[in-house]
Amino acid sequence: MFNEINKNIVLTLGINTLPVEKQKEAMERLGAIVYQEVMLRALEILTKEEKDEFEKVIEKNADPEVIFEFLYNKIPNLGEIVKEEAESFRAESAEIMNDIGK
């Protein structure tokens, strides 16, 4: 699941067009922003019990693969949320860059 999420972000943000050595750096920086937004949306969806369970998962194992697997099991449309957040970030970034160019 985590690899699919990364792939979505890479394609939506166009990171795949960068040289290989720049892709990792861009993914670390830009991916972190998208992941943060995905987490915020996920927390809005989870029930109180699921949030408590999620907290235990994070305390036990902070591996992103484990975290996103948990979220995917609780939020079946998590992939769509990732796409939406990546697209939103891309659009906001483009708008900012457009405003700077004016």
Q: What is the pLDDT of residues 35-83, one digit of tens each?
A: 899 999 999 999 999 999 999 999 997 788 899 899 999 999 998 999 8
Q: Contact at 8 Å (CB) between 68 and 3? A: no
pLDDT at 47: 97
Domain that holds residue 39: 2-100
Total domains present in the chain: 1
Query: What's the pTM value of the predicted model, to 2 decimals?
Result: 0.74
- Residues 94 and 101: their CA atoms lie apart, in Å, by 11
Distance CA(67)–CA(20), nearest Å, equals 26
The answer to whether 11 and 84 are in contact (CB under 8 A) is no
pLDDT (average), residues 77-91 = 89
Q: Which helix (H) or strand (E) holds 65?
A: helix 64-74
Is residue 97 scored above 80 in pLDDT?
Answer: no
When pLDDT is averaged across residues 79-88 and rounded to a whole number, the result is 90
